Chains A and B, each alone.
Chain A
Amino acid sequence: MPDLLLELFSEEIPARMQAKAAEDLRRMVTDKLVAEGLVYEGAKAFVTPRRLALTVHGIPVRQPDLKEERKGPKVGAPDAAVQGFLKATGLKSLDEATLQRDPKKGDFYVALIEKPGRDAIQVIAEILPVIVRTFPWPKSMRWGERSKKPGALSWVRPLQSIVATFGPETEEPDIVTFDIDGIMPGNVTRGHRFMAPGDISVRRFDDYVSKLEAAKVVLDPQRRKDIILADAKQAAFAQGFELVEDQALLDEVAGLVEWPVVLMGSFDESFLKIPGEVIRATIRNNQKCFVVRDPKSGKLANKFILVANIEASDGGKAIVAGNERVIRARLSDAKFFYETDLKTKLEDRLPKFENIVFHEKLGTQAERIARIERLAAELAPLVGADVTKVKRAAKLAKADLLTEVVGEFPEVQGLMGKYYALAQGEDASVAAACEDHYKPQGPNDRVPTDPVSIAVALADKLDILTGFWAIDERPTGSKDPYALRRAALGVIRIVQNSSLRINLSAVLLVALRNSYQHIQNEAHPALLEFRKDISADQVSEYIERRKKEVEAGFGVGPKAGDMRPISFLDYDFDVWCTGSFELVKTQGAPARKPTWFLYTDQDAQIELRVPNRNDFLTSLLSFFADRLKVQLRDQGARHDLVDAVFALGNRSAEGSSVQENVQDDLLMVVRRVEALGKFLETDDGKNLLAGTKRASNILGIEEKKDKRSFDGAPDAKLFSSDEEKKLAAAIAQVKTDAGAAVAKEDFAAAMTAMAKLRPAVDAFFEKVKVNDDDKAVRENRLKLLNEIREATRAVADFSKIEG
């Protein structure tokens, strides 16, 4: 069967777009082929800086013929219906249709339509231009004479030529013919831009690859990577060094060359005084070169590895010399930045933060740092950290953002903070926190363990979360511009990693109050809404007046300077305004859970928006719960067990306040899931689960039937069998034992206690008929079943567990 070879030859394709483009090309072409009934045997796509190539082999020569029967109108149907049928099926007259008998409904016409399959090459000639015109480049452009007209072809960079051949292995393939904006496919491509720029005629994939190789083009990106990696390692090894591997850089560099040539250069040893990470960032980001290290000490060597695109006529001397010169200039800059930075103490940089806006609604960086400092200090005792050190660390942790080195290389933020802190003689924990409070950044990043770092890291993340939550900037769908999901996941991982016991609701409220102090102090628009016809000047005048009134003790405030809590708001944060406010409306979901309360003051100049604390907490907690679920699932926990434990939280939240929420203590959720998982691997666990499920099922059916629930204690007097009595006794025992174990947070013991329920449950189901004829007995037995369910809820909602 024939093969298709396609090459889209263009000016240089950005390295970062290449891999996805190859995959898109393969997917789009093969999807269309299959949709056209051309089922192929295999396909593979390749990409270099100048070409996207695709081979599809084993494509049928023709599409299969299609036969279709189409039902038509009844015999004697109105003419309009007959004409419509003829038109739709392409028949000339009803004579060409067959008659189908139907004694019940009446005879009707049927058209047999035969659609002969077309030649695959024709189909391909139609498919390819559509794919080229609709190709999903992240950014594309127009060019040349034709860009004058609307609808001109756009491509990632100018598309210069196309190779498209189709034919079986044994014959000269045909050229697929089409025309896209004047570009017509042929069988001619070109080799390496500098080393083999001439035309090359190709037939099919095999000779295409080998002719390109002869023309100094390695088509397969993976092979280019392998070559670069092997040669780079070898080059380093030959001089007694070790390559610092860097996958992202390797991917990029392989996308910048068609013919990789690895060369090694060096720089002055005196630059090694600069922190290694800065050297690496300089060489990597600006020059796209690799660094090497001494395998013994692990320290960087004064060498770098570059990947050129040509075999130069002088063996690469000029290229190495040129790169060395650029790297020398870059490292001189870096060294200058580093040495300049060392001249200024971190704390002396802080005043600048007063002029840098963190977020329009959340104030300046200086205010954010102050909030982090306050919150970190409150968290310090909870995580066993020294308060003084925590405050110091929180104060300095962001200061390196204002240094020259971080300005130049944002990816070394935090790390430079640590170096500069150590250089100015800060405590080691304080210095470490400058780096580690950003962690963990991603799923593979290190989690901080030093208590000082933990306190600042938690404060940093919680401040972001509560701040953005308070101003209603919550993540939706794929949009999470402030990386709040990552922040929440960071909190979870820190808590898990250090087995921290933290009451999340309480901590969130402290953080929230922190955020709001700012908003209130500034009388911020997030909190205040003014009437539209009031000018900005009037607004500031109003705020000033109100502030003065507060200071003067005007109004109902008990004494001068007091902030008066607005108690009727169900809200315990101090508000700077003493004016009397009247609730006008609520915002968000109506009824029970509005997002905001809206108040208006006496002279109706402003409205005060106050977030509903309960909504704030429940939504933020469930945001955490979702992150935790994802995290536990990623760690291999069964998702149903996670759901079973979380189901407890939802239930208790309904009737009571959020503070009792099980999800509040992230660590305990994890422990429950772990214990549950282990228990369910035992026979006792499996059988108890089966018994509980059976009880739940029966209850579910009967509750539906009677349209009522069977809550409440069963009446011991109505027990008629031993099994009932034993089950009731076992339940009572398990409730006590499991309850006590849970209280001690010993979930394994709770499970063991639970296991004792199993024989009684088994015996009950074996001997006792639940749906007794006596109504009272039946009700009592259903209540007993309900008790089983209740008892197991000490650890999890068993009904959510699968199997």
Chain B
Amino acid sequence: MELLPDHMRPERSFQGLILTLQRYWADHGCVILQPYDMEVGAGTFHPATTLRALGPKSWNAAYVQPSRRPKDGRYGENPNRLQHYYQFQVILKPSPPDLQELYLKSLAAIGVDSALHDIRFVEDDWESPTLGAWGLGWECWCDGMEVSQFTYFQQVAGVECAPVAGELTYGLERLAMYVQGVDRVYDLNFNGREGAEKVTYGDVFLQAEKEYSRHNFEHSDTAMLFEQFKMAEGACKKYLDAGWESGKKERHLMALPAYDQCIKASHVFNLLDARGVISVTERQSYILRVRELAKACGEAWIHTEAGGA
């Protein structure tokens, strides 16, 4: 590998870390996608994972996904909790036999030396009630810190995965904090430059964290959000119904637009939840409603060209 300039080195630069991971997975046959252009709670929601994990066709992709967790906002005061952060997502279908080795080599690529650090695979069964999905795998620990999640999808959107896809999710901020040796996320060096040229994570995101925390906990328009949830739910069902070719349940032609509405409903629910306007019992029923949408989208997807046999 050619020598990287200092400002691109993953242990100095947040963006350098991202670019290194993208390069690494590109070298291993992944298509490098850009973030999905909607608000999602995790990289898994990107249709490149949720939907592409279904169906028999092989699929290898990697991408960065900004993830929104409205409830995790801390007004910029917590050193490692954010309501908006980046995940790096890799999906490989079918899961290759050397997936663990590929993952460990990706850590080596960003400067985590397995002769020096204690890397461990600790049981963590993954389940997403809203996506109707589950899988088995691990949290990957580096010197006691969880840096990635590693999952073999067994079911997504209520559909059995055949074949099974392997999913890797890197928590980019944590990983960067680790390799940069920084304790506070806002102190991360974003662009790898020093002195006047240096841009930190705080320069980029601190104001946003404060503003969105205010919004998420205090000011978001709940009446509008309740309405949006209903509208997204209704639209999703409408598109799903309309998408069946000639009204027969053989070919679906609008799974992706329908799934967008499912994503929308899920995010709106997270916003409502952060505002504390959903009671414990209602909460369950909202989750169930989103899951029903996700399942119907999965069902539609496996009748599309990319999702079908």
Contact = CB atoms under 8 A, between A and B. Distances in A.
A543 B144 CA distance: 58
Interface in A317-351: 318-319, 321-323, 325-329, 332
Contact of B178 (A150, A322, A328, A357): A322
Contacts of B214: none
A357 B117 contact: no
Contacts of A313: 113, 115-116
A11 interface: yes
A332 B100 contact: no
B79 interface: yes
A288 B137 CA distance: 18
Contact of B164 (A16, A143, A160, A306): A143
Contacts of A319: 116-118, 143-144
Contacts of B280: 355-357
B138 A12 contact: yes
A147 B144 contact: no
A139 interface: yes
Closest 6 CB pairs of A and B: A322-B143, A14-B123, A12-B121, A323-B144, A148-B163, A147-B164
Interface stretch (B44-52, B89-97, B236-244): B89-97
Interface string B117-161: 111111101000000000111100011110000001010000001
B114 interface: yes
B164 A141 contact: yes
Contact of B94 (A145, A308, A321, A322): A145
B207 interface: no
A144 interface: yes
A314 B116 CA distance: 7
Interface of A: 11-12, 14-16, 49, 139-150, 156-158, 160, 194, 256-257, 287-289, 306, 308-310, 312-314, 318-319, 321-323, 325-329, 332, 355-357
B144 A312 contact: no
25 contacts: A11-B100, A12-B121, A12-B138, A16-B123, A142-B154, A143-B166, A144-B95, A194-B119, A309-B118, A309-B119, A310-B118, A312-B116, A312-B118, A313-B115, A318-B143, A319-B144, A322-B143, A323-B143, A325-B145, A325-B183, A326-B144, A329-B80, A329-B183, A356-B280, A357-B281
Given A325-B183, A329-B80, A143 B152 contact: yes
Given A144-B96, A312-B115, A313-B115, 17 more contacts: A11-B100, A11-B121, A141-B154, A147-B95, A148-B162, A156-B136, A157-B137, A194-B114, A256-B120, A309-B119, A310-B114, A318-B116, A318-B143, A319-B118, A355-B279, A356-B280, A357-B281
B66 interface: no
A322 B281 contact: no
Interface in B262-293: 279-281
Contact of A326 (B94, B115, B143): B143
B55 to A, nearest CB: 10
A610 B164 CA distance: 53
A194 B145 CA distance: 18
A158 B97 contact: yes
B202 interface: no
A325 B177 CA distance: 11
Given A194-B119, A256-B120, A332 B79 contact: yes
Contact of A256 (B113, B122, B162): B122
B171 interface: no
Contacts of A309: 118-120
A726 B96 CA distance: 93
Given A147-B164, A158-B97, A322-B144, A141 B136 contact: yes
B234 interface: no
Interface residues of B, number: 40
A322 B118 CA distance: 9
Contacts of A11: 100, 121
A194 B143 CA distance: 14
Contacts of B152: 141-143, 157-158
A634 B53 CA distance: 54
B146 to A, nearest CB: 9
Contacts, number: 118
Contact of A147 (B123, B136, B163): B163
A333 to B, nearest CB: 8
A332 B116 CA distance: 26
A144 B144 CA distance: 29
B118 A144 contact: no
Contact of A144 (B115, B117, B163, B281): B163
Contacts of A145: 94, 163
Given A310-B115, A357-B281, A144 B136 contact: no
A194 B115 CA distance: 7
Nearest to A287: B144
A312 B114 CA distance: 8
B163 A329 contact: no
A322 B95 contact: no
Nearest to A265: B144
A9 to B, nearest CB: 13
B86 to A, nearest CB: 19
A309 B120 CA distance: 8
B144 A148 contact: no
A262 to B, nearest CB: 12
A329 to B, nearest CB: 6
A322 B120 CA distance: 13
B96 to A, nearest CB: 7
A34 B15 CA distance: 62
Contacts of A157: 136-137, 152
A268 to B, nearest CB: 12
Given A148-B56, A194-B115, A322-B145, A141 B163 contact: no
Contact of B95 (A143, A321, A327, A355): A143
Give the residue among B80, B120, B135, B280 with the most A Cβ atoms within 10 A.
Answer: B120
Give the residue among B80, B138, B152, B166 with the most A Cβ atoms within 10 A.
Answer: B152
A257 B144 CA distance: 13
B156 to A, nearest CB: 13
A562 B63 CA distance: 70
A139 B116 contact: no
Nearest to B178: A322
Contacts of B143: 318-319, 321-323, 326
Contacts of A289: 144
Give the residue among A158, A256, A289, A306 with the most B Cβ atoms within 10 A.
Answer: A158
B98 to A, nearest CB: 9
Contacts of A194: 114-115, 119
A156 to B, nearest CB: 8
Contacts of B164: 141-144, 147
Contacts of B97: 144, 158, 160
A139 B125 contact: yes
Nearest to B143: A322
Contacts of B138: 12
A727 B95 CA distance: 88
A326 B145 contact: yes
Contacts of A328: 183
Contacts of B154: 141-142
B197 to A, nearest CB: 27
B118 A148 contact: no
Contacts of A149: 162
Given A139-B136, A141-B135, A308-B118, A322 B142 contact: yes
Contacts of B137: 157
A140 to B, nearest CB: 8
Nearest to B97: A144
A710 B68 CA distance: 84
A84 B5 CA distance: 86
A160 B99 CA distance: 12
Nearest to A141: B136
A147 B183 contact: no
A149 to B, nearest CB: 8
A683 B152 CA distance: 71
Contacts of B163: 142, 144-148
A131 to B, nearest CB: 21
